[in-house]
């Protein structure tokens, strides 16, 4: 029993150490692999989001219920001067629970975006207006003409100041 307790203590200490190291160095997502904390140059001032049009993807860090950040690479679009996050869902997946990052935003709308080497602390709110979603879907096809995801499987989040 003492040996088991020592092993559990060692594993917990190792996990805490790993989380401390990852929080310092970041560990952002790669192309098809999620990551943890996003690091970069913080930007707090109001932003003209048009600069994001030159980025095919950006990174978003969410804050799930288990309190360890979850970061992924996603599409984004600008529309009427605002930034929107794009999420496509395979048929049968329910929004927002079908993906970890969208479920995390539904639980806690605080997000961190990394665009280039800049990071932005913001919040994200699901777009629920069908007319706005339709306009965003059209804007998506201007930026990503090869994206063939049907409109019924695409959802958007509006990025707002915290």
Domain assignment present for residue 8? The answer is no
Domain assignment present for residue 18? The answer is no
Domain assignment present for residue 142? The answer is yes
Domain assignment present for residue 19? The answer is no
pLDDT at 23 over 90: no
Domain assignment present for residue 13? The answer is no
pLDDT at 11 over 70: no
CATH of residue 95? 2.30.110.10
pLDDT of residue 108: 96
Question: In total, how many domains does the chain have?
Answer: 1
Range of the domain at 44: 28-161
Measured distance CA(46)–CA(36) in Å, rounded: 25
Domain assignment present for residue 56? The answer is yes
3-state secondary structure 48-97: CHHHHHHCCCEEEEECCCCCCCEEEEEEEEEECCEEEEEEECCCCCCCCC
Number of H helices, E strands in the chain: 3, 7
pLDDT at 75 over 90: yes
Region label for 72, one of left (φ > 0), alpha (ψ between -120 and 50) or beta (otherwise): beta
Q: Which of 69, 65, 64 is nearest to 34 (CA)?
A: 69
Domain assignment present for residue 118? The answer is yes
Q: Grade residue 25 by pLDDT with cuts at 50, 70 and 90.
A: very low
Q: How far is CA 156 from CA 33, 71, 94, 102, 108, in A?
A: 21, 17, 14, 10, 16
Domain assignment present for residue 46? The answer is yes
Give mean pLDDT, residues 26-49: 75
């Amino acid at each position: 029993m003492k040996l088991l307790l020592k092993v559990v203590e060692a594993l917990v200490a190792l996990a805490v150490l790993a989380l401390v190291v990852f929080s310092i160095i970041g560990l952002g997502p790669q192309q098809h692999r999620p990551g943890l904390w996003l690091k970069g140059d913080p930007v707090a001032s109001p932003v003209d989001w048009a600069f994001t049009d030159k980025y095919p993807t950006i990174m978003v860090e969410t804050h799930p219920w288990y309190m360890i950040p979850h970061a992924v690479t996603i599409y984004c679009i600008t529309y009427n001067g605002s930034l929107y996050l794009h999420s496509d869902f395979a048929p049968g997946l329910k929004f927002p629970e079908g993906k970890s990052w969208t479920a995390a935003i539904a639980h806690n709308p605080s997000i961190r975006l990394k665009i280039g080497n800049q990071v932005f602390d913001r919040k994200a709110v699901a777009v629920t207006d069908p007319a706005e979603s339709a306009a965003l879907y059209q804007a998506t096809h201007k930026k990503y003409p090869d994206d063939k995801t049907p409109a019924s499987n695409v959802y958007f989040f509006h990025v707002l100041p915290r």
